[in-house]
Structure 1
Amino acid sequence: MIFRYLVERRSWIALFLIQQLILALIAYLDPAIPLTSIGYIIFISVIVFIVFLHFRYQKESSFYNQLEEWEKDFDTSRLTIPSSPFERIVENSIIEQTEHLKRTSFHNRVELEQEKDELLAWIHEVKTPLTAMHLMIQRMDNHPLKPGLTYEWLRIHLLLDQQLHQKRIPSIENDLFMETTDLETLLFSELKTLQSWCIQKGIGFDLDLQAAQVLSDAKWLAFIIRQILTNAVKYSKDTDILIKSYQQDESAVLEIEDYGRGIDSRDLTRIFDKGFTSTTEHHDQASTGMGLYLAKKASDSLHIRINVKSTLGRGTAFTLVFPAKNEFDQITGM
């Protein structure tokens, strides 16, 4: 700050030094003026000027130091009281800009909340005719169009579900209810939804649930598993998907392994990034790159660790490691 202050006042310093040089030059050129006396005057002037600079630095820098340390949190009450007209101009400008940003931020936040509420309401409204459509499709006995219609219905259903959870993710902490969740019931419900799609692709499931229950939020856990299962079915064909659970130390572990196309090793570290699809399958227009991103966000809130292993062309295995009860209590302070 001292160096910057001297740079800021360089014109004053230059003016003072030029004045002293002029005074010394006059004394040098005019023999009638004692050079010693002029040197003494210059010396005293320099001392006084240095003291003056030090005093002004202490007085002027406190306000700007406070500006540098200000936490930009829209709280202008912690700003140092200005001690000069120019500092008051700066303070007034900051306060006006801050108040403007507060109003704009509040307005944008209200608009976003309104748009979110309208979208959630729209999704719930769409679910009603979508449910009716599903019932109509189920009544179609051995119709050639039934598999195709069921698949398209399922795509719409999953996309709406993903959009619904995407809007709820920012406030997920307010929507959690941790309880002992039965894995078998949850998995059978998800597999039943995907049943027609799996039959169409010749995919079966091999379940081995040694750990039958986990500590989690059933609704959000179902969403996480749904994203993983959807990817497994989407990128597999004519193979079985292995689902197993077991106890590891004090934590329950759930593994979902498919034998589909797999993931390129260079993509493994990016599959949970928002909007990332693939570097090897650019022609896949059906991918949104949001499913695994949202699953990771939800799992972080549930304190579930997701690990993934994959070999291109041989399949992918997702592992969900649930927190032990003692570990979860310690994390959440319950």
Structure 2
Amino acid sequence: MNFLKTISNEALIILLILVLFLFTFFVFSLPMTPFLLALAIIVFVFAIYVFYRYISYEKHQSLEEEVEKLEQSLHNVRNEQIEYKKEVEAYFLTWVHQMKTPITASKLLLARNEKGMVNQLRQEILQIDNYSNLALSYLKLLNHNTDMVLAPVTIDELIRPLIKKYSIQFIENQTKIHYEKSTAKVITDARWCSIMIEQLLNNALKYARGRDIWINYNENEQKLEIRDNGIGISRADLPKIFDQGYSGYNGRLHEKSSGIGLFIVKRISKHLNHFVEVESELGKGSRFTIQFPNSGTKRG
């Protein structure tokens, strides 16, 4: 229909010329044979013209569609770049504020030089190290080409180094850790999965000071559970705890909370296809579970 509109003027001119010729032949009673011959020639030439115009029209339409697709792609890329810039700026604005706390605390500890300062300083440095690693992990996660190398790894290989890393915090905060060695194997990316578990453990440490943390692996269901009997999470906050920068009611009570850790957990869980679930009740503690994909691998 669009193509017919493009040749409508030419077709109208040809029709008017033919009508004029027919009128002339009719008025002067001229033989119709020359008119029919001229009509055949004109129709033939016009058909060739129409065919040529149609080929040109198709090419033009194809180019227009390609240009439209490219413009849409460019528009999408620009929007993605804008969103990327906003997300990075928002993340690092939160990150910078979060880094200030342990740095300021470290300066005060050094200035006071009180008894037990070394252990407290180690805790603050551990937090700085954790936040720095989070920033690097976040940047890598934004790169869609980030490789995830899935391979069998034992639960103990994932958990034991983290317990050792945070041992000083367990001691200083008088938090009891309950964990039994598990040689069960799961299919995961050990490095990224460790980061995810570390953030859940770190989160439990913040809100279970002086209480207990349990780490259990259900081999039948292939679920890793990190549970505490700390202050818990309110029902209103639960749907939002994995949002970037959301710290909720507990975060407002806890000066070191910024919502970055659980946000990273959610991003990693999507990349690894490890579903993360949370159950919590205010004043009674929280339970985070990581569901590993069914690999058919049990004990090594």
Q: TM-score, normalised by structure 2?
A: 0.61
Q: Equivalents in 2 of 1:279, 1:146: separation in Å?
A: 31
- Tell me what 1:278 maps to: 248
Q: 1:231-253: per-residue Cα shift (whole Å, max 9, x none)? A: 000111222211111223xx511
CA contact (8 A) 1:262 1:311 kept: yes
2:172 maps to 1:195:
no
In structure 2, distance between residues paired with 1:209 and 1:260 = 23
2:48 matched residue in structure 1: none
1:241 aligns with 2:227: no
Indicate conservation of the 8 Å contact 2:156/2:183, yes or no. Answer: no
After superposition, the Cα gap between the structure-2 partners of 1:246 and 1:173, relative to the gap in structure 1 and judged at 3 Å, is farther
Residue identity matched to 1:79 = E
Question: CA-to-partner distance for each residue in 1:104-145, whole Å, 9 max, x for gaps?
Answer: 949x69x97xx99xx9xxxxxxxxxxxxx9xxx9xxxx9631
- The corresponding residue for 2:273 is 303
* Matched residue type, 2:166: L
> Corresponding residue for 2:25?
none
Match 1:320 to one of 282, 286, 290: 290
Tell me the amino acid that sits aligned with residue 268 of structure 2. Answer: A
Q: State the Cα distance separating 1:187 from its structure 2 match.
A: 0.8
Q: Distance in 2 between matches of 1:170 and 1:98?
A: 24
Aligned pairs for 1:116-265 (under 5 A) are 144-171=116-143, 174-210=146-182, 212-248=184-220, 251-265=221-235
Q: Which deviations, in whole Å up to 9, do the C-alpha atoms of 1:161-218 show, x marking residues without a partner?
A: 1111111112365321000012112211111111111111001211135562111000
Query: Residue 209 of structure 1 contacts residue 246 of structure 1 at CA under 8 Å; is this kept in 2?
Result: no
Native 8 Å contact 1:173 1:301 kept in 2 = no
Aligned AA (2:143): S
2:180 aligned counterpart, secondary structure: strand
Partner of 1:79: 65
What code does the residue aligned with 1:271 have? Answer: I
Distance 1:280 1:155, change over 3 A: closer
2: CA distance between counterparts of 1:297 and 1:324?
20
Dislocated runs of 4+, deviation >3 Å: 208-211
Name the CA shift for 1:158/1:172 in 2 (closer, same or farther; >3 Å): farther
Aligned to 2:261: 291
SS across alignment from 1:174: coil
Deviation per residue, 1:283-311 (Å, 9 max, x gap): 43321211111101101111111111111
Q: Size of the alignment, in residue pairs?
A: 214
Identical aligned pairs, as a percentage? 26
Structure 2 Cα separation of the partners of residues 204 and 172 of structure 1:
39
- CA distance, structure 2, for counterparts of residue 164 and residue 236 of structure 1: 27
Find the aligned partners of 1:173 and 1:313 in 2 and give their Cα distance.
Answer: 42
Uncovered stretches (5+) of structure 2, i.e. residues with no partner: 1-60, 93-105
Instruction: Name the SS for the 1:175 alignment partner.
Output: coil
Say whether the 8 Å CA contact 1:208–1:245 is kept in structure 2. no
